[in-house]
Structure 1
Amino acid sequence: MVIPHLTENYGASRDPPEKQAPMCTVHSFPHNIDHCLTWARSEFEGLLEKTPTEVNAFLSNPGGYATAARTAGDAQARDQLERVIECLEREKCETFQDCVTWARLKFEDYFSNRVKQLTYTFPEDAMTSSGAPFWSAPKRFPRPLEFSTSDPSQLNFILAAAILRAETFGIPIPDWVKNPAKMAEAVDKVIVPDFQPKQGVKIVTDEKATSLSSASVDDAAVIEELIAKLEAISKTLQPGFQMKPIQFEKDDDTNYHMDVIAGFANMRARNYSIPEVDKLKAKFIAGRIIPAIATSTAMATGLVCLELYKVLGGGHKVEDYRNTFANLAIPLFSMAEPVPPKTIKHQDMAWTVWDRWTITGNITLRELLDWLKEKGLNAYSISCGTSLLYNSMFPRHKERLDKKVVDVAREVAKVEVPPYRRHLDVVVACEDDDDNDVDIPLVSIYFR
């Protein structure tokens, strides 16, 4: 039971984290189909959702986007700019044939060139620093794929990827795409460049060995060049051009989402000699579907309804409610009173996680820090959504102190503030005068 101001909130207790494979395994050394599907889902979101969203963020507010990139001035901002430029220039699609070309070259990049680069960097007889074979279990030595239009699964992957790419650019899908012969003909028109191995490519082989290294080039200077290039590209686009990001939806069998993800995963599985799966099994794993039985659902529904009577009746104390843990297989039923929310005390104030502090006025970041200082709290970090508006550790962030909080949120967090919106919520991390962390409520700034 979670009742505002009466019990703990959802975040007070957490399930143990799901066991996940290290990213180096997922990216370069998969050894089961789950790794392949995790990678496939990540690539799907990057290519078809995140990059088009970034393109739209730039096109909606070029000045603000450029300012945010300059302010960040790091490798992540540079990578984002490079992805947007690549999408609008080198990989821009205007016809469905362009989308077929894009899909075919992605196939070559993912399932042939990257594997050739990996095996060039780490040959089959490579040894580790301790003298053991590098390609020892669980690592599997990969083999590049040779594309063939006579392979139905490869052709279907190109078809599905090209259709989704066309959707992001708003390109009509021609009728002939469902004809395998005509699709094969379109794919055969694509000119695929020969692979050239690169020297000095760094491939992460151990998650524990990763470290934050300073960039070899000045990120700020590169970002300026990229911004100038992006502004030039934007002038060549049609007025009002916007992309259509695609959010993964596993349950619609006609939208080609699972075709692309299953294709991505199975082609990668072939690279590493991992058994492939059909689309249904791929949906089960990639969609993170958890099996359930009707009796469990019925029991949970009944327990919810019993507690709902108390909620609707009103006026109940925390000890009147019940949390339930039930396991029908044993069978075990355990009921307990919910825990009241933790009360945090500071000086002459007290609050719980359910409380909220409000400030009226279109204040600056500095004024927010001063407002908290009067309460004996030293704020060192302010965030909005998933973006950091201010952190005392970053010298550049001090330049933001005299800007309005809502303006920084627009620039940095890309928060859209519609005319009817009167307030903005920020999360503030604070310390007391003895440098002890103090959890404070959400702060709502009423700027209108």
Structure 2
Amino acid sequence: DFQNQMANQKVFLVGCGALGCEYLKGLALMGVATSPEGKITVTDMDRIEVSNLSRQFLFRQEDVSHPKSVRGALAVQKWNPNLNITAMEQKVGNDTEDIFTDDFWRKLDICWNALDNVMARQYTDSRCLFYSKPLLESGTLGTKCNHEIVLPYRTSTYNDGNENDSNETQIAMCTLRSFPYLPNHCIEFAKQSYFSDYFEFGPEQYETFRKDKATFFEQLESMDAGEQYRSLALIQSFLDMHQEAQSSSNGKMDVGLCVKTAYANLMGDYRTSILNLCHSADAMESSSGKKFWTGTKRRPKAIDWNCEEDKAQLMEYLYSTAGLYASVWGLECIRDRNDFTDLVLSLNLEQPEWNPPSQNVNLSDEDEEGGDSTDKAEKLKADLYSVDTLNLPPANPQDFEKDDDLNFHIDYLTIATNLRAWNYDIKASPRHTVKVTAGRIIPALATTTAMVCGLVNVEYCKLVLGLANTNGRDVFLNSNINLAAGSGNFTTFCPDPPINIETGLDQPKSFTSWDKIEIVNDKEELS
């Protein structure tokens, strides 16, 4: 009977990474969903990268760049040809409720999370709560792992806790923007600000503007003043490139123009902004009589294009940045270093003269953008309203990919990081460190994954046996484990009961998050 129940199970596996691969393996070997009534649905938006192969054992070299869910399903079907499995590449969230419909959720026996972020976990938990479905939840971080089982009406839910991943890698923006003092600060700023603005967010906003100007300005209204100005300024920079291309001798976008734009970024980010910051700090010191550059605040120094000693680093920045701009505009990159150097020399690039800014830089410890963002945004809006978008060339936003060594992404982040580190006299970061940090690669151990998945599989077997109905939550276990700390950090415990909320009313006196009021109505409308 137990094996027949396994065969008839309808399982929704969300995620097909390290945990998802291990769970798929277990489901296939346990004979789950092998009858005509049974079905496994696995979904994952990601595609397989080279770095996945060391810890996601369903994948091989030939699977790289293919969808994880599709290749994972194919792998386990080879082991168990009777497995009924459907692979999808859809995100599970509010915007895919037309795919994962009411009918889809109602037919499930269980939802099984193999996710790596809190927001997605909270969403699937809310769906299980609404449709009264059990949820299996787990996670790993190096040698640490945990799992949790959520039983309808018998345990608290995932959302009943205070889990939040917003602070896992969060660094105050004022520190990143003006006062970095660690190598990681430089990596984060290079990724969040430089790469995102120039090659992701900027091209995306430009494309929205180019394709449908009216829709763009509608979406713009949902942004705050600082974000509006950022969006408009980036679009203007792309329009400036297009205008300069039209006025050139060949009337087309070329790599030379990409180099000029890269040079403008170099001067703006590593010279002008640094000189402006120091000027504003000096003015504050002079007016207050207090030292500004104290504690972790380091006085930065600006780059100098005319300094031959630093020219190799600056040329490396131009090389990777121009390569990325060429990719954005769909141009052939110049990969030969000598040819690229010749091109740069032929452009006769000159360092712009610096003049003190009319308005001082925001030096507060707050994260808010200071200044007149609203006024600047309104002026740019007026300028962009009159732009004819009909003949604007398309741009290709760069989807960050850490494992392609030819796409300039890690090359750019490495030199952008280390130039900023040079500004602030911070230790330079090797390319591998930048790749690991920017790619959010958390060391994963196969031992940890295998352990937590084995524990969750045991809890799943208890569910299929119907122990939740006969024994309640008492026979189920959650866990918190750290394999590096020995048996003393292997903790299992019974799931908490639902949180009871008192109403202070005669009826109902209390309720839990599982409770709901259903209104049954045969009519089409309620009045």
Partner residue of 2:353?
Answer: 195
Distance 1:212 1:103, change over 3 A: closer
Task: Give 1:113-124 correspondences, 5 Å limit.
Answer: 113-123=272-282
For residue 269 of structure 2, the aligned residue among 110, 119, 135 is 110
Q: Once structures 1 and 2 are overlaid, which stretch shifts more, 138-147 or 13-22? A: 13-22
Deviations 1:193-229 (A, max 9, x none): 5133243333232324x67879587578536513423
Partner residue of 2:419?
Answer: 267
Q: State yes or no: 1:33 paired with 2:183.
A: yes
Partner residue of 1:66?
Answer: 217
For residue 146 of structure 1, the aligned residue among 282, 304, 322 is 304
TM-score of the aligned structures, taking structure 2 as reference length: 0.58
Instruction: Measure how far apart 1:170 and its partner are.
Output: 1.6
For residue 441 of structure 2, the aligned residue among 289, 305, 320 is 289
Contact 1:324–1:334 under 8 Å retained in 2: yes
What SS is found at the alignment partner of 1:31?
Answer: coil
Counterpart code for 2:325: R
TM-score of the aligned structures, taking structure 1 as reference length: 0.67
For residue 100 of structure 1, the aligned residue among 231, 247, 259 is 259
Partner Cα distance (1:282, 1:262) in 2: 6
Counterpart code for 2:480: F
Distance 1:330 1:269, change over 3 A: same
**Aligned-residue RMSD, C-alpha:** 3.8
What SS is found at the alignment partner of 1:87?
Answer: helix
Counterpart code for 1:144: A
Partner residue of 2:319?
Answer: 159
For residue 23 of structure 1, the aligned residue among 173, 176, 179 is 173
Q: Which blocks of at least 5 consecutive residues in structure 1 are unaligned?
A: 361-366, 375-448
Partner residue of 1:352?
Answer: 513
Q: State yes or no: 1:323 paired with 2:482.
A: no
Q: Once structures 1 and 2 are overlaid, which stretch shifts more, 338-347 or 98-107? A: 338-347
Give the count of matched residue pairs.
353
Partner Cα distance (1:77, 1:353) in 2: 41
Contact 1:111–1:267 under 8 Å retained in 2: yes
Instruction: Measure how far apart 1:324 and its partner are.
Output: 0.3
For residue 83 of structure 1, the aligned residue among 231, 234, 244 is 234
What SS is found at the alignment partner of 1:207?
Answer: coil
Distance 1:45 1:5, change over 3 A: farther
Instruction: Measure how far apart 1:245 and its partner are.
Output: 1.4
Partner residue of 1:181?
Answer: 338
Instruction: Measure how far apart 1:131 and its partner are.
Output: 3.2
- Bigger helix share: 2
What SS is found at the alignment partner of 2:396?
Answer: coil
What SS is found at the alignment partner of 1:194?
Answer: coil
What SS is found at the alignment partner of 1:288?
Answer: coil
What SS is found at the alignment partner of 2:171?
Answer: coil
Distance 1:313 1:56, change over 3 A: farther
Instruction: Measure how far apart 1:267 and its partner are.
Output: 0.5
Contact 2:233–2:380 under 8 Å retained in 1: no
Partner Cα distance (1:321, 1:297) in 2: 20
Between the two proteins, what is the percent identity of the paired residues?
24
Contact 2:198–2:234 under 8 Å retained in 1: no
Partner Cα distance (1:313, 1:158) in 2: 63
Contact 2:276–2:361 under 8 Å retained in 1: no
Q: State yes or no: 1:206 paired with 2:358.
A: no
Contact 2:300–2:423 under 8 Å retained in 1: yes
Partner Cα distance (2:257, 2:289) in 1: 48
What SS is found at the alignment partner of 2:190?
Answer: helix
Instruction: Measure how far apart 1:315 and its partner are.
Output: 6.3
